[in-house]
């Protein structure tokens, strides 16, 4: 059940990217102002569907975290890139090359091997105030250090550091969501009488600001891998720290877990540099003006993917 819900959340995230790209791509180039762009998009059914998919992804992730562990759910969300690739291939008939096949297979095989070997199980831990304060301090000191380091360097370095900071924020948010869902059995009204729901909003907004900065300061090929790779690693650490999640830790099991996660990271690295993925993600996160400026960086392969009878949204 947990794996199905988490995979469904990853699929919903992929659909969100596709639908957001569809709406943004149709927007007139002169709509550079974010307010004017939003006013244009809210009148488009495809954008509304994207919002529905985004809300669905959040609810599915929350359900997965309710039934499962942070260290189980967050790594599976990496499969968003695989679902995105599958939609582009199966629905829109974009050609898939060696890079895409290799990246997708590495992610699927690595995730399956990691989850089978590690077998994350609950440790019965319930975070107390000291635990939350310690995890929050560690998370946001790490975020602060990454943001400080991102003040200098190349655009790629800045984007990777901002992406890593956003990933740590998302990992901490996942822990908050899990705690928030534990209040649901007592009634939805009861949910709003406890602090986690408000912390989710506050920390979530922080994550949105940081991730938008990551998209703004440098190329998507730098920020996307950082986002996707750091999130599961930080989530596993937070899950063990706060909830006493247990992962198999025999010597050979740790080695297999490490190799399988390296395979996942290699797959993420390959897919994050795929012209198909870059095209969808770039236009899903930027304004029309930003998309036009970023288009040359995507390369001729992306342009070729749009021609020859292929159709992406």
User: Could you read off the pLDDT of 142-193 as tens digits, one per residue?
Assistant: 999 999 999 888 888 998 999 999 999 999 999 999 999 888 888 777 788 8
Give me the pLDDT at residue 293, please.
41
Say yes or no: 37 and 131 in one domain: no
Number of domains into which the chain is organized: 2
DSSP structure class, residue 309:
T
- Is residue 124 over pLDDT 80? no
Q: Is the pLDDT of residue 201 over 50?
A: yes
Based on the fold, state whether residues 232 and 150 are members of the same structural domain.
yes
Residues 137 and 102 in one domain: no
Q: Are residues 58 and 138 in the same domain?
A: no
Q: How far apart are CA 62 and CA 3, in angstroms?
A: 12
132: nearest Cα among 189, 84, 88, 196: 196
pTM of the model: 0.79
Q: What is the pLDDT of residue 190?
A: 78
Residue 78 domain boundaries: 1-109+276-313
Residue-level pLDDT at 237: 92
Residue 133 lies in a domain: yes
**Please, which pLDDT band fits residue 307 given cuts at 50, 70 and 90?**
very low
Judge if 98 and 127 occupy the same domain: no
End of a domain among 245, 266, 290?
Answer: 245
Q: pLDDT tens-digit profile of 56-91?
A: 999 999 999 999 899 899 999 999 889 988 888 888
CA distances 154 to 158, 213, 249, 278, Å, are 6, 14, 39, 20
**260 in any annotated domain:** no
In whole angstroms, give the CA distance from residue 281 to residue 88. Answer: 12
């Amino acid at each position: 059940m947990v794996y199905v819900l988490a995979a469904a959340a990853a699929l919903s995230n992929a659909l969100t990217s596709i639908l957001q790209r569809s709406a943004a791509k149709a927007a007139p180039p002169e709509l550079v102002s974010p307010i004017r762009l939003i006013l244009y998009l809210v009148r488009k059914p495809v954008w509304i569907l994207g919002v529905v998919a985004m809300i669905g992804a959040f609810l599915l992730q929350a359900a997965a975290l309710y039934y499962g562990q942070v260290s189980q759910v967050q790594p599976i969300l990496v499969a968003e890139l695989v679902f995105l690739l599958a939609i582009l291939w199966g629905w829109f008939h974009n050609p898939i090359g060696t890079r895409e096949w290799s990246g997708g297979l590495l992610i699927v095989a690595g995730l399956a091997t990691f989850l089978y070997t590690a077998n994350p199980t609950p440790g019965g831990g319930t975070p107390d105030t000291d635990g939350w304060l310690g995890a929050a301090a560690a998370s946001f000191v790490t975020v602060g250090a990454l943001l400080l380091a991102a003040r200098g360097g190349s655009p790629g370095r800045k984007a990777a550091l901002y992406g890593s900071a956003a990933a740590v924020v998302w990992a901490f948010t996942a822990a908050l969501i899990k705690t928030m869902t534990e209040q649901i059995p007592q009634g939805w009204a009861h949910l709003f009488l406890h602090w986690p729901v408000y912390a989710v909003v506050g920390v979530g907004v922080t994550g949105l600001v940081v991730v938008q900065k990551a998209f703004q300061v440098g190329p998507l090929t730098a920020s996307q891998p950082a986002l996707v790779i750091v999130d599961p690693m930080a989530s596993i650490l937070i899950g063990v720290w706060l909830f006493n999640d247990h992962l198999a830790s025999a010597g050979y099991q740790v080695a297999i877990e490490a190799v399988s996660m390296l395979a996942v990271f290699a797959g993420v690295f390959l897919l994050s540099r795929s012209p198909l993925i870059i095209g969808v993600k770039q236009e899903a996160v930027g304004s029309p003006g930003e998309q036009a400026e970023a288009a040359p960086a995507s390369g001729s392969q992306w342009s070729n993917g749009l021609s020859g009878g292929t159709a992406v949204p």
